[in-house]
Chain A
Amino acid sequence: MPGQVITITSGKGGVGKTTATANIGVALARRGQRVACLDADIGLRNLDVVMGLENRIVYDLVDVVEGRARLRQALIKDKRLSELHLLPAAQTRLKSAVNEEQMKKLCDDLKKEFDFVLVDSPAGIESGFKNSIAPADQVIVIVTPEVSSVRDADRVVGLVEAYEKPTPKLIINRLRPTMVKRGEMLDTADVLEILAIDLIGIVPEDERIITSTNKGQPVALEDHSEAGAAFQRIAQRLMGVEVPFQVFEEAPGLLDRFARFLRG
Chain B
Amino acid sequence: MNPELVSFKGTREGLTITLGEGEWRELMNELAAQLSRPQAQTFFRGARVLLETGNRAIDVLQLEELIAQLSQSGMTLSSVLGEQRTMEAFAQVRATIRAPAPLVPAQPAAPLAAPEIPVDGAQAMLLHRTVRSGQRYHYAGTIVVIGDVNPGAEVVADGDVVVWGKLRGVVHAGASGNDNAMVGALILAPTQLRIGRYIARAPDDRGQRHAPAEIARVRDGQIVVEPWYG
Binding site for B on A (CB under 8 A): 125, 151-152, 154-155, 157-159, 161-164, 194, 196
* Known interface pairs A158-B134, A159-B95; 18 further A-B residue pairs with C-beta atoms within 8 A, sorted by A's residue number: A125-B96, A125-B98, A152-B133, A154-B132, A154-B134, A154-B152, A155-B95, A155-B132, A155-B133, A157-B132, A158-B92, A158-B133, A161-B92, A162-B60, A162-B93, A164-B59, A164-B60, A194-B150
> Across the A-B interface, how many residue pairs have beta carbons closer than 8 Å?
44
Query: Given A163-B60, A194-B150, A194-B151, A154 and B133 touching (CB < 8 A)?
Result: yes
A155→B152 contact, CB < 8 A: yes
Cβ of B89 under 8 Å from chain A: yes
A162→B151 contact, CB < 8 A: no
User: Complex formed: what's the CA distance from A16 to B133 in Å?
Assistant: 21
Residue of B nearest to A157 (CB): B132
Q: List, in ascending order, chain B residues with CB within 8 A of A152's CB.
A: 133
A151→B92 contact, CB < 8 A: no
* Chain B interface residue count, Cβ-Cβ cutoff 8 angstroms: 19
Cβ of B148 under 8 Å from chain A: yes
Q: List, in ascending order, chain B residues with CB within 8 A of A125's CB.
A: 96, 98
Residue of A nearest to B88 (CB): A162
Cβ of B135 under 8 Å from chain A: yes
A196→B130 contact, CB < 8 A: yes
Residue of A nearest to B134 (CB): A155
9 A-B contacts (beta carbon < 8 Å): A151-B151, A152-B133, A155-B133, A157-B132, A158-B132, A158-B134, A162-B60, A194-B150, A196-B148
Q: List, in ascending order, chain B residues with CB within 8 A of A159's CB.
A: 92, 95-96
